[in-house]
Amino acid sequence: MSSRLIIALDFPTKEQALQFIEPLSPQSCKLKVGFELFVAAGPDFVKQLVDKGFDVFLDLKFHDIPNTVASACKSAASLGVWMMNVHASGGQKMMLAAKQALEETQSNAKLIAVTVLTSMDSEQLAGTNVASSPEEQVKHLAKLTKASMLDGIVCSAREAKMLREILGPEFLLVTPGIRPAGSAQGDQHRVMTPAEANASGVNYIVVGRPITQSADPLAVIDQINLDMQ
């Protein structure tokens, strides 16, 4: 079975990212390229990771008018990535346009939507004039995403159990904000351990700093893969 661990390659340069992935195999993890590395290393680097056999999640969280997001998804698909994302708060027309654009390509890349960022708590959400709790807002945006025919969502593992009941067994739940016991929470708020996330029924976990800043990344990866079995 392929790994359900997605490592967030949040590095400032292509060289640092390549050095980090050198000992990794596509069987032990998938890789996520987000803003920091994409801006520094570009689309050719994403293709390089795909050519090495890794499943790549291109995390650019598109959030724009429907036509622009649809075109961006087509461009992302042409890189051969396994998964990409948009912000669900971009609305249903945007998500439908993105899905349709992907269907017009040869790619079978998965398209998921970010609900409420795992760094957000009730207070920060209220600051954006959203009066609902994070859980209520996640539930609302998750239903909107499903109605827009996307493959799944990004959410906190804390919400996974409740969402699985509402959204059914096929809908993908991809969960960052994962912190192995004893690791620093940093800017994340809605966190869980890998074992707790697994027990909550998530499909994939996204882990960055607890692996990339560890003195022994391979040991952390092995332990997380065990926790996810």
Annotated binding site for substrate: 10, 32, 59-68, 118, 179, 188, 208-209
Dihedral sign of CA atoms 24, 30, 35, 41 in order: positive
How far are the Cα atoms of 33, 36, 76, 104, 193 from residue 206, in angstroms, in the given order?
11, 16, 20, 28, 11
Dihedral sign of CA atoms 134, 206, 107, 75 in order: positive
Positions in 69-98 near ligand OMP (CB under 6 A): 85
DSSP codes of every residue in 116-150: S-TT--HHHHHHTT--S-HHHHHHHHHHHHHHTT-
Select from 64-72, 96-104, 126-134, 203-211 the region that touches ligand OMP (CB under 6 A).
203-211
Sole binder of ligand OMP in the list 31, 94, 138, 207 (CB under 6 A): 207
Contact flag: residue 151 with ligand OMP (CB under 6 A):
no
Sole binder of ligand OMP in the list 117, 138, 142, 167 (CB under 6 A): 117
Least gap, CB of 36 to ligand OMP (angstroms): 8
Least gap, CB of 121 to ligand OMP (angstroms): 12
Q: Please, which residue, 34 or 194, has the CB nearer to ligand OMP?
A: 34
- State the catalytic residues: 59, 61, 64
H or E element in which residue 35 lies: helix 35-51
Select from 46-54, 72-80, 161-169, 200-208 the region that touches ligand OMP (CB under 6 A).
200-208
Least gap, CB of 62 to ligand OMP (angstroms): 11
How far are the Cα atoms of 15, 90, 139 from residue 23, in angstroms, in the given order?
14, 38, 39
H or E element in which residue 36 lies: helix 35-51
Please report, as ranges, the residues that interact with ligand OMP according to CB under 6 A.
8, 10, 34, 59, 61, 85, 114, 117-118, 154, 176-177, 186, 188, 206-210
